[in-house]
Structure 1
Amino acid sequence: MEAIKNSQQFEYLPTHIHYLLHWEKTSPTKTYLVQPLPNGEVKSYTWQEVADQVRRMAAYIQTLELEKPSQIAIFGKNSAHWIMADLAIWMAGHISVPLYTTLNAEGTEYVLEHSECKMLFIGKLDGIGDSWNAVKTIIPAGMTCVKLPLSPDYDAPTWEKITATTEPLENPELPDPNRLATIIYTSGSTGRPKGVMQSFSTLLAPSGELRTTFGVTEKERALSYLPLAHVAERIFIESSSLIGGFTVYFANSLETFIEDLNRAKPTIFFSVPRLWTKFYLGINEKISPKVQKVLFNLPVLGKVVKKKLLTKLGLDHVRFALTGAAPLPVNIIKWYRDLGLELLEVYGMTENSGYSHITQEGQYKSGYVGHVQKKVDCKIDENGEILVKSPGNMLGYFKNPEKTAEDLTPDGYLRTGDMGEIDETGRLRITGRVKDIFKTAKGKYVMPVPIEQKIGNNAMIESVCVGGASQVQPVAFIMLAEDVRNKLAEHQKTDEIEAELIALKNEINDTLESHEKLGYFVVIRELWTMDNDLLTPTMKIKRNKIEERYQPKLDDWYKQNKQVVWE
């Protein structure tokens, strides 16, 4: 295997399969994947065991005589065998298509059809926190399926039986690093998911650079719990562990998360704002912020308390921690830094393998996502849009050359769709969106217009604006129709109208993806007009103006835990 060495003498291999075979040979008995089971047991797999199972499944896939390369989907929550399935697909010479376990049946059916998938791995699912019960009804008749360990009941052969009866592939054909490795589907402006094409090279490059930046070694430990179908986990967990040779632990469930975290005792940790916020609020419930402030300022006891809090969270061994996918409130970032955990914000997207900007240690600045990462170039276009040239930039969108040409410039820059500013030191600040799509605190994209159309179809509603960027769920600001407003003015009773609005919200939520579901309605008090600059002369809403008006109140409204908030 031809390896490339950098200034720190790290060896770089061309693809994930090269790395798997490397660790199989050099560290065969070292634990690679650690899987907790529902019954409380924990199963560990060494590099040799992982490689053996991957070789056997790859051999089985080859017996199917699928046209090379074909697309093969993986539908399941994170598990040791999710990664093994991905590796087996690649070793067999095919292309993997990860599916979100929360994607509804219609969306899953579209992805399977659009990607032309010829086979499906069914992974860890329970039908409760995922869409399995609906998705199992749309799996195409005749599609070859394989059940991974921890999968639900389905009429398909199991991974265990196949690997027990299939001889391992002895001399696998090693992939070309520039070959298409995976198609990751992400929401597009039309409402249909877009298939982002990434090669082995574009998937590995970001992890390789992170390895040199943070000195990642075989001694690291990481916990995998964010969806492996998302590019961030694919890079931070899968690609990074294969490059670094470190151990990956998996989470069993939300209920056992802290237990799983403490088992892993991660040295590197990536999370999204929602979880960082959950940790923070959990500690605040037990120790009030006022008491924390007193304790933290005590000379000796303060250090002890901070260490105990990090230990309780399972983060006391973390060397570096990353947060991304959406902005994290400044006060929470400062709280973690006060504990001794320097959270580093990262900025990226599926189209550049999540590799763009990062907050350097000691260079945090409120409101900024940091400087460009190594080998990344960034500039601001004439319209204010952020353009990024990254070693993680996609090959393009699957079966969509028009959109590819729109988002990738002739000189190799990705049009991010975000607007931004770069300060005198090179730090980037996100200032808005070129289009109306926004992200929730979960890091999921939401397209407001289709949701607004559903709400606006009701006669009670005169106008609506869906917003809530960086909130847990989207929020609908609604202006009631004139007759409803008159009725309210006359009787001053909101119960009946509120009940109708709740019913409307629930009805609409039933048609939406989980990340699109509306958290609550806000019935606005001051009407949107051209006079107050909230409507255009053609009576269209000025989205940015409306969002700006209500943004300061969102956190308080969210805490009220109501389905309808009256401004």
Structure 2
Amino acid sequence: MTTAPATRPTTVPLDPEVRSVGHMLRRRVAATPDRRAFSFPLPNGSWDVITWEQLGIRAAEIGAGLISLGVTPGQRVAIASSTRIEWVLANYGIMDASAATVTVYPTTIAEDVRFILDDSDSTVVFVEDADQLAKITALRDELPKVTHVVLMAGDLPSGADTSWILTFDALRHRGVELLRESPAVIDQRVDSTRLEHLATLIYTSGTTGRPKGVRLPHRVWVFEAFAAEVTVNECAEPLLTIDDKQFLWLPLAHVMGKLFLVFPLHFGFETAVDGRIDKIVENLAVVKPTFMASAPRIFEKAYNGVEATMVATGGITEKLYRSAVKNCGKVFDADNGVGHAGPWTRMMARVGDKLVMSKIRQRFGGNARWFLSGSAALNPKIARWFGAVGMPVLEGYGLTESSAGSCLTTPETYRTGYVGRPLAGMEVRTADDGEILLRGPAIMDGYHNNPEATAEVLTADGWFHTGDIGEIDELGRVRITDRKKELFKTSNGKYVAPALIESTFKGLCPLVSQMMVVGNGRKYASALVTLDEDAATAWAEKAGLSGTYREIIDTPQVHGVMQGYIDELNEGLNRWEQIKTFTILDRDLTVEQQEITPSLKLRRKVVAQHFADQVEAMYPEE
């Protein structure tokens, strides 16, 4: 095995008074009661805000309401909802009740919802709206352990069984009544909670197979907060301070979103929360955050959007943009140890930044100091573009089983294509076959009710097998190249790493939305491609094409330009990796059809099934 150099402390000192997420919340409320904690959109389009003191009160009311429903310490309470303020309050309330949060994506199919709620022994389920309520109601006879369902938004439907279903406000009212009778009930629950007690049960979204429940005790969240503090304080300018402002759109059912509900408790910064993906760019301009964590797809869309705008505008504006990208990119590279930028280049970069890049930054609110990318590999070209614009994207790495945060890039350790060094207190190795192994306090306790699966990934001495293939450089920085299970072999016996090829292509082609490389057991590699509708439409208009999206993608001009990008991609690939043929699909991949996960990862098996005819058509001689 190869072990990463010992670049950070092997242990992280924890505050003995902080033994759970509930302790973290109570400490934050006491420390900064009047500071803004969360802001969130209202139905009329305006934004509201609550302070830490107000948040603490509402969380206690929710926690007490759960206790009034009979929730005992350690019992599981599920949340089936998109990202919204009620999710936040419900989660903190569950922590106050010393229960454990079970996360459920609202897009999860009914059979998987039934399995998750049953396997987790959930007794109470928060549901976002009438649609989620209907899904749970239809499963009622199959969920005997569920005693109550709490509707987060809207009124109860006509004829609803109120012995089983109650509204969010009704739950809070029950909590208020209990707190009036027993004011110390929440403090007692929090004080009884320990690091080893279960805090979160996250079922892997499952690109293949049935979901597995990942058991994350309070230990992992407390450790992540203190380890992050040690890590970011190594920077010349701390990455996170109480004066920062986060924009949180990530699915809170995903471990990365969950982690960014813990960090505000520790650092005290404000979080603007809104999970509507179609509102992200608009919200950035309104919220004006200093940072945001995201999956690569959002950065790809933002990059493609700016590129499409510049191409459509053309003329001197596009020329100035291209010059700014070139010169600011050279300076960014030089400042991160790649190449050289002389005085002339730096002067031209300053001009380009003032004329062009500052205006692009305003699209993102104007205050962004950095972004964080996780969940999948970010294309180096797109990372370089954001760096040139003055909003560097720092990559992080982790899995549900490692509480999301295992490695983090900082400005001082930045290297394009790398996910940084392990957090303080975490160890990283590569196995003989290149698989990344992790060990440390952030690793899960195991899979719920699944000791066989646990034994497959956790060794007796605590090393977790990630399933990711990668490498570690001389400074301990980690690079992820592909998923071990996603590598496939052509009929010629050559291995192909599809994710790396797909990520590279997204950096080359501003029109692409999704790409999935196929070819397992075939003579050559091919690809299914979808286009970004806005970018493709803008390109088509400039090219003199008209028609709907489906009409545009069938034109020789679109196929010609896509072939050009494929040719450019192939120039950097080994012969057996090269894409011999491709098909442009007539629609994008969607979460609703289970083709991508809510965290925007490809579900390869589902995509292959949905587009089996298109795949077969690319291999006519077989």
Tell me the TM-score range normalised by the shorter chain. Answer: 0.7 to 0.9
Q: Matches of residues 109-258 of structure 1 in structure 2 within 5 Å?
A: 109-123=114-128, 125=129, 134=135, 137-139=138-140, 140=143, 143-149=147-153, 153=157, 155=160, 156-165=165-174, 166-167=176-177, 168=179, 170-171=183-184, 172=186, 173-174=189-190, 175-187=193-205, 191-214=209-232, 215=238, 216-235=240-259, 237-251=260-274, 253-258=276-281
Aligned to 1:78: 83
Provide the rounded CA distance (Å) in 1 between the counterparts of 2:377 and 2:587: 27
Q: Matches of residues 468-479 of structure 1 in structure 2 within 5 Å?
A: 470=503, 475=516, 477=518
Contact 1:71 1:95 in 2 (8 A): yes
> Which letter does structure 2 place at the counterpart of 1:225?
W
Partner SS for 2:166? coil
Deviations 1:468-498, CA, capped at 9 Å, x for gaps: 66586574748999xxxxxxxxxxxxx9xxx
Aligned to 1:52: 57
Q: Matches of residues 426-441 of structure 1 in structure 2 within 5 Å?
A: 426-436=476-486
Provide the rounded CA distance (Å) in 2 between the counterparts of 1:27 and 1:509: 39
* Cα distance change of structure 1 residues 189 and 217 upon mapping to structure 2, 3 Å threshold: closer
Deviations 1:180-222, CA, capped at 9 Å, x for gaps: 1110100458711000000111023223222333332221111
Query: 1:12 Cα shift?
Result: 7.5
Provide the rounded CA distance (Å) in 1 between the counterparts of 2:276 and 2:591: 25
Query: 1:373 Cα shift?
Result: 2.0
* Cα distance change of structure 1 residues 61 and 394 upon mapping to structure 2, 3 Å threshold: same
> Which letter does structure 2 place at the counterpart of 1:170?
P
Contact 2:426 2:441 in 1 (8 A): yes
Answering whether residue 296 of structure 2 is matched by residue 273 of structure 1, we say yes
Deviations 1:249-300, CA, capped at 9 Å, x for gaps: 1126344333322232212221111000111111112223654122454455
Provide the rounded CA distance (Å) in 2 between the counterparts of 1:112 and 1:269: 31
Contact 1:109 1:138 in 2 (8 A): yes
Provide the rounded CA distance (Å) in 2 between the counterparts of 1:466 and 1:96: 36
Query: 1:375 Cα shift?
Result: 1.4
Provide the rounded CA distance (Å) in 2 between the counterparts of 1:251 and 1:480: 43
Query: 1:84 Cα shift?
Result: 1.3
Provide the rounded CA distance (Å) in 2 between the counterparts of 1:25 and 1:250: 22
Aligned to 1:401: 451
Query: 1:122 Cα shift?
Result: 1.3
* Cα distance change of structure 1 residues 321 and 257 upon mapping to structure 2, 3 Å threshold: closer
Paired residues, number: 474
Answering whether residue 360 of structure 2 is matched by residue 309 of structure 1, we say yes
- Asked which structure has the greater RCO (Cα within 8 Å, sep 6+), the reply is 2
Contact 2:13 2:226 in 1 (8 A): no
Query: 1:384 Cα shift?
Result: 2.6
* Cα distance change of structure 1 residues 60 and 190 upon mapping to structure 2, 3 Å threshold: same
Deviations 1:15-40, CA, capped at 9 Å, x for gaps: 22112222322322222111102221
Across the aligned residues of Structure 1 and Structure 2, the Cα RMSD in angstroms comes to 3.7
Contact 1:189 1:437 in 2 (8 A): no
Provide the rounded CA distance (Å) in 2 between the counterparts of 1:136 and 1:477: 40
Match of 1:35 among 33, 37, 40: 40
Provide the rounded CA distance (Å) in 1 between the counterparts of 2:198 and 2:373: 28
329-338 or 290-299, larger mean C-alpha shift: 290-299
186-195 or 103-112, larger mean C-alpha shift: 186-195
Contact 1:33 1:44 in 2 (8 A): yes
| Structure 1 residues not aligned, in runs of 5+ | 1-5, 439-447, 449-464, 482-494, 496-500, 529-567
Aligned to 2:600: none
Contact 2:39 2:273 in 1 (8 A): yes
181-190 or 381-390, larger mean C-alpha shift: 181-190
Provide the rounded CA distance (Å) in 1 between the counterparts of 2:307 and 2:255: 32
Aligned to 2:394: 344
Answering whether residue 548 of structure 2 is matched by residue 524 of structure 1, we say no
Aligned to 1:388: 438
Provide the rounded CA distance (Å) in 1 between the counterparts of 2:72 and 2:350: 66
Aligned to 1:95: 100
* Cα distance change of structure 1 residues 8 and 80 upon mapping to structure 2, 3 Å threshold: same
Question: By percentage of residues, which structure has more helix?
Answer: 2
Provide the rounded CA distance (Å) in 2 between the counterparts of 1:70 and 1:331: 46
Deviations 1:165-185, CA, capped at 9 Å, x for gaps: 533363222211221111010
Aligned to 2:429: 379
Query: 1:98 Cα shift?
Result: 0.8
Contact 2:248 2:292 in 1 (8 A): no
Aligned to 1:461: none
User: What TM-score does the superposition give when structure 1 sets the normalisation length?
Assistant: 0.75
192-201 or 279-288, larger mean C-alpha shift: 279-288
Provide the rounded CA distance (Å) in 2 between the counterparts of 1:341 and 1:230: 25
> Which letter does structure 1 place at the counterpart of 2:253?
A
Provide the rounded CA distance (Å) in 1 between the counterparts of 2:591 and 2:278: 25
Provide the rounded CA distance (Å) in 1 between the counterparts of 2:16 and 2:384: 37
> Which letter does structure 2 place at the counterpart of 1:524?
M
Provide the rounded CA distance (Å) in 2 between the counterparts of 1:264 and 1:511: 31
Query: 1:71 Cα shift?
Result: 1.0
424-433 or 30-39, larger mean C-alpha shift: 424-433
| Structure 2 residues not aligned, in runs of 5+ | 1-10, 233-237, 312-317, 328-347, 490-495, 507-512, 523-553, 555-582, 598-602
* Cα distance change of structure 1 residues 108 and 474 upon mapping to structure 2, 3 Å threshold: farther
Answering whether residue 115 of structure 2 is matched by residue 106 of structure 1, we say no
Partner SS for 2:94? helix
* Cα distance change of structure 1 residues 210 and 255 upon mapping to structure 2, 3 Å threshold: same
Aligned to 1:292: 321
Query: 1:351 Cα shift?
Result: 0.4
Provide the rounded CA distance (Å) in 2 between the counterparts of 1:43 and 1:176: 34
Contact 2:288 2:364 in 1 (8 A): no
Query: 1:527 Cα shift?
Result: 4.6
